[in-house]
């Protein structure tokens, strides 16, 4: 017979918490969908983006803004010092598991969202969780344009100044450590090191080259993210619902049409799927 704390251990292993998992490449609308679902199902969001766990570089890492959060509580977001060297997958799994448990214990729905699929894989493969998988996706021919527009917006919003202020760039700077591994840091590092020695025309030319390099690297990341999601889906036999946001992208110049497309093609179907999931239906 088991007594005392051992009974708590058995209960922990016996419980099968439900959670919603939102996957997708950068720029596809994961954050927007996570907040939509959190407001509709009394949920809280757990960040799985390995760059967004660090404080600072909000523009570079494309963090959700306070306005976009719409009052929804977010976990594992902007809690590490930007000077921290690393945050391991094991660290993430320990903290995310604790967040899932506490959110569930408060009667809320945990919604896991982010682009770092290696974090997701270790958290979910062979775990005790019952998951509703949603994949927010954009057709590849349109993905490059989405990435390009996003980078242009980041630059316009102060990306260059944000990177310049956070780091003292030197030849010995290790771009593989922690938040310094974010796309945009090493690229602008090259610009900052050469900037004092260039005339105005040369600076503008190098700046344009750096921005284009960031766009290429971000698009490459987005493609790898899509491939990883497809692999996880196939290898683990996850039942993943793909939500195509391409029509939203192609109509976004007309806000009313874009919002209608988002509700009809993404938020609405996701709401139905999560509702069925919580009711115990496939």
Residue 1 has pLDDT above 60, yes or no: no
Beta pairing partners, 43: 109
Q: How many structural domains compose the chain?
A: 2
Is there a domain that residue 220 lies in?
A: no
Rounded Cα distance, 59 and 65, in Å: 10
Question: What integer is the mean pLDDT of 30-48?
Answer: 97
Is there a domain that residue 269 lies in?
A: yes
Could you give the 3-state DSSP secondary structure of residue 54?
A: strand
CATH code at 59?
Answer: 3.40.50.300
Provide the domain limits for residue 36. Answer: 17-140+238-278
Residue 6 has pLDDT above 50, yes or no: no
Residue 177 has pLDDT above 80, yes or no: no
Is there a domain that residue 231 lies in?
A: no
Is there a domain that residue 264 lies in?
A: yes
Could you give the 3-state DSSP secondary structure of residue 244?
A: strand
Mean pLDDT across the chain: 89
Question: What integer is the mean pLDDT of 159-188?
Answer: 82
Question: What integer is the mean pLDDT of 150-178?
Answer: 84
What is the per-residue pLDDT for 128? 84
Residue 173 has pLDDT above 80, yes or no: no
In this prediction, residue 282 has a pLDDT band, given cuts at 50, 70 and 90, of low
| Higher per-residue pLDDT: 33 or 281 | 33
Please state the φ and ψ torsions of residue 132, each to the nearest 5 degrees: -110, 110
Residue-wise pLDDT for 182-195, tens only, equals 999 999 999 999 99
pTM for the model: 0.89
Same domain assignment for residues 108 and 168: no
Contact 62, 152 (CB under 8 A): no
């Amino acid at each position: 017979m088991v007594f005392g704390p051992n009974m708590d251990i058995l209960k922990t292993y016996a419980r099968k918490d439900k959670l919603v998992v939102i996957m997708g490449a950068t720029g596809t609308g994961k954050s927007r969908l996570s907040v939509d679902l959190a407001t509709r199902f009394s949920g809280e969001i757990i960040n799985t983006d390995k760059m967004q766990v660090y404080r600072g570089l909000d523009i570079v890492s494309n963090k959700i803004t306070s306005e976009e959060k719409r009052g929804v509580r977010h976990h594992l977001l902007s809690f590490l010092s930007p000077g921290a060297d690393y945050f391991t997958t094991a660290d993430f799994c320990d903290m995310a598991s604790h967040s899932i448990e506490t959110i569930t214990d408060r009667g809320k729905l945990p919604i896991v969202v982010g682009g770092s699929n290696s974090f997701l894989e270790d958290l979910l493969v062979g775990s005790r969780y019952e998951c509703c998988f949603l994949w927010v996706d954009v057709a590849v021919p349109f993905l490059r344009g989405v990435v390009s527009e996003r980078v242009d917006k980041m630059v316009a919003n102060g990306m260059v100044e944000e990177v310049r202020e956070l780091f003292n760039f030197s030849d010995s700077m290790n771009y593989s450590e922690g938040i310094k591994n974010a796309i945009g840091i090493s690229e602008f590092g090259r610009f900052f090191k050469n900037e004092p020695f260039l005339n105005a025309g040369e600076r503008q030319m190098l700046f344009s080259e750096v921005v284009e390099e960031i766009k290429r690297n971000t698009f490459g990341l987005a493609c790898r993210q899509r491939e990883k999601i497809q692999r996880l889906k196939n290898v683990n036999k996850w039942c993943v619902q793909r939500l195509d946001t391409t029509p939203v992208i192609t109509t976004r110049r007309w806000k009313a049409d874009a919002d209608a497309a988002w509700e009809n093609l993404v938020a609405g179907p996701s709401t139905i799927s999560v509702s069925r999931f919580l009711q115990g239906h496939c």
